[in-house]
Amino acid sequence: MKKIIFATGNQDKMREVREIMSDLDAEILSMGEAGIQIDIVEDGVTFQENARIKAAAVARGLKGEEAVVLADDSGLEVDALNREPGIYSARYLGEGTPYEVKNQTILSRLEGVPKEGRTARFVCAIAAVFPDGESCVSREAMEGYIGWEPAGEHGFGYDPIFYVDAYGCSTAQLPPEVKNQLSHRGKALRAMRQQLVRHGFRQKEGTDGQAEGERLAEA
């Protein structure tokens, strides 16, 4: 079985990754589960650059182990706020600031702004580094708008304030399998999954290239 190491310690993110890529015959580990403890300086100016920086740093720490390293950089762009917080989404208002505070700050900054001025998007770039040194990156987005109050318990981060017109609710109110089908990370992971198959990863028997959550969302 092939091995994938995803460069994160965020368990919510790992849960999404495993759900979306569950049709691959692969062991998927977080950095911690793989025993990799390194500090990574994300000094890129785009989501793609930061994803590549993280993937390359973890790949260097493998010391010859046969594994594909995946890393993502994702964030929220709010058009009325000059696309803030953007690549600084995780560090918005300082390291360790609770997302409840971040979300309320964004809502306060948009006070009085009508719906048409509250457009926003989630962006995700995922980079891969293969054992032979080859690398690639996928970038996808999810369009929506900033609501007027937080809602929902399913998501994390900025999900409670990011609303999707087609469903009339926040991404934190969507069932996980629906969110995975629509989300920026889901789209980027599916694009990356195609690259992994091209590099020899096999799909589990009885699957057709879709993870279980995607099949449920379309049923």
Q: How far apart are CA 139 and CA 62, in angstroms?
A: 25
- Catalytic residue, chosen from 23, 72, 73, 159, is 73
Q: What is the pLDDT of residues 125-167, one digit of tens each?
A: 999 999 888 999 999 999 999 999 999 998 889 999 999 999 9
pLDDT band with cut points at 50, 70 and 90 for residue 6: very high
Tell me if 6 sits within 8 A of 28, measured CB to CB: yes
Q: What is the pLDDT of residues 184-207, one digit of tens each?
A: 999 999 999 998 998 888 888 765
Q: How far apart are CA 177 and CA 183, in angstroms?
A: 10
Report the percentage of the chain scoring pLDDT > 70. Answer: 94
- Give the pLDDT confidence score for residue 63 in this predicted structure: 75
Cα dihedral: 151, 147, 188, 79 (round 10):
-150
73 an active-site residue?
yes
Tell me if 50 sits within 8 A of 42, measured CB to CB: yes
> Is a pLDDT exceeding 80 seen at residue 68?
yes
Q: How far apart are CA 173 and CA 162, in angstroms?
A: 10
pLDDT band with cut points at 50, 70 and 90 for residue 217: very low
Q: What is the pLDDT of residues 11-23, one digit of tens each?
A: 888 998 998 899 8
Alpha-carbon radius of gyration of the chain: 17
pLDDT band with cut points at 50, 70 and 90 for residue 173: very high
pLDDT band with cut points at 50, 70 and 90 for residue 115: very high
Q: What is the pLDDT of residues 25-61, one digit of tens each?
A: 999 999 999 989 888 888 999 999 999 999 999 999 8
78 exposure class (CB count in 10 Å sphere: 0-12, 13-18, 19+): buried
